[in-house]
Amino acid sequence: MQLLKRITTSLYIIIVVALAFVKGYNSWFMITLWALLALFGTVYIIKCGKLFRWNNSITQKSTSDHPSPLTGNGQGRGLMGFLLHLSFLIILSGAMVTHLTQKKGTIHLRQGEPMAYFLDEDEKIFRLNYSLQLDSFKVVYEENGRVPKDYVSYITVLPSGNHSMASGDAGGGIEKIANTQQSHEVISMNNILRIGNSRYYQSSYDEDLRGAILIINRDPWGIPITYCGYVLMVLSFIMIILRRTDRRVVLGSLCMAMVIAWLFSLKEYNQPVLNTWLLPVHVSLIVTSYVMLFLAVWKRQLLHVAIGFLAMGIFIGAYWANISWGTYWSWDPKEVWALITMMVYAAPLHASSLPCFRNPRFYRAYMLIAFLCVLMTYFGVNYLLGGMHSYGA
C-alpha cells in the first residue's frame, strides 16, 4: 500500500513539474503520465477502501481533525469526494477522446466565392458536402469609431451534394450531412456556426475586408464527455463547500466575486473576444479564488472555497474558449499555470493521505511557497510567457 501511495504521489509531482517546464503537452510522454496517474490513483483509492467505508471508525478517527474531501467524516462527504475524483477521470477521458478523434482546420473564404474545402492542421485538404460562401465581412466599431467591437462574417450555406468530407490521400471522411438546406448565417466573436458535428469560428480576415478565415472544429464526443466531467467537478465542489465551510465565508466569497464581476462589466475592451458576459464571471471567480488561497495560509477552512472557485473559473474559461477559439483547452500558458496552481493547492486537501499537511508549520510554509504559483499565473505569464491570455501586458 505504501509503495502504491509513493508511486501515485510521485506521478502527481512529476506531472506538476513537467507542466511547468515541458512544452510538449500533447506528447505521448505527457499522455502516458496522465494515464498512469489516473490508473494508480484509482487503484490506490480502491485499495484503501475509501470508496466504500464512509463510516469506518478508524477512518473517522484518523481524519477528524484534518479530514480530506475524499474520506470526509461521514457518508455524504466521502461520496462527494468520490464524485469529485471521478469527475477528474471523466475530464481526462474526454481530453483523450478529443486528442484521438478531433478534426480541426481552417477555411479561407472570399466574398462571392463558394468554398467546399478546408485545410486540416497537417495541411491536408478535406472536402465538405456543402459549400460556404462569404456574402460580406464587417468590422463593427465602438461609438468612438476607433476601437473594434466585433468581427462579423455573413455566410450563405449552399447544398452541394450528399457526399462526405474526404481527403483523397488521408482516406476516410469526417461526416456526412444529408439534405443540407441553403441558409444565411452570421459568424462573429463568441458566436459560432454549427453544421452537423462541425463548428465554425471567426479567426481572421483579409486586409481588403473581402475575405474571412474561419476555424472548423469537429469533436462530437470529446467535448460532451469533458463537459460532463467539468459539471460533475463543479457540483461536487459546491456540495463540499456547503458542507465543509461556514455559511458566512461562502456568502462573503460570493459577495466578493459579484463586486469583482460588476467592476469588470463596467469596462469596454479593445479585443472583441473580451466583450462578453463570460469575462466578468470568469475573472471574478479566478480572482476571488486567489484571494482565498492567500487567506487560507492562516485559515485552512478557506482552502475548499478557494479551490472550488478556481475550478469553477477554469470551467467557465474552458466553455468560453470553446466558443471563441474553437477548443476548450489549448495549453495556453495561462491555462497551464492555472492548472498547476489548482494541482499544487489540491495537495493539502489530502491531509489524511499526506500526514505532513497535518503539521501547522509545514502547512503554512507550503501555502506561502505555493502562492508563487498564483503570482506566476496572474502576473508572470503576461510578461514572461505571453500567449492568448496576455491582455494585461
More confident residue, 160 or 128: 128
- Is the per-residue pLDDT at 52 higher than 70? no
Look at residues 390, 387, 382, 286 and name the one whose alpha carbon lies nearest to residue 341. 286
Write out the DSSP string of 246-259: -HHHHHHHHHHHHH
Q: What is the residue-wise DSSP string for 175-198?
A: ---TTPPPEEEEEETTB-EEETTE
Which cell is 118 given? 478546408
Phi, psi of 32 (to 5 degrees): -65, -40
Q: How confident is the model at residue 60 (pLDDT cuts 50, 70, 90)?
A: very low
Residues 6 or more apart in contact with residue 376 via CB below 8 angstroms: 337
pLDDT by residue (tens digit) across 154-198? 999 988 654 444 343 333 445 555 445 788 999 988 888 888 888
Residue 324 has a pLDDT of 79
Query: Helix, strand or coil for residue 315?
Result: helix
Which pLDDT score is estimated for 97? 93
User: What is the C-alpha to C-alpha distance for residues 329 and 2, in angstroms, rounded to an integer?
Assistant: 34
Which cell goes with 8? 501515485
CA 39 to each of CA 4, 24, 228: distance values in angstroms, whole numbers, following the listed order = 11, 21, 20
Beta-sheet strands, E only, within the chain: 103-110, 115-120, 125-141, 148-159, 183-188, 193-195, 198-205, 211-218
Beta-bridge partner residues of 213: 108, 204
Which amino acid type is present at position 291?
Answer: V
Confidence of residue 331 (pLDDT cuts 50, 70, 90): confident
Q: What percent of the chain has pLDDT over 70?
A: 83
140 contacts 265 by C-beta, under 8 angstroms: no
Beta strands 148-159 and 103-110 are: unpaired
User: In this predicted structure, what is the pLDDT of residue 144?
Assistant: 66
DSSP state of 335: H
Average pLDDT for 117-134: 88
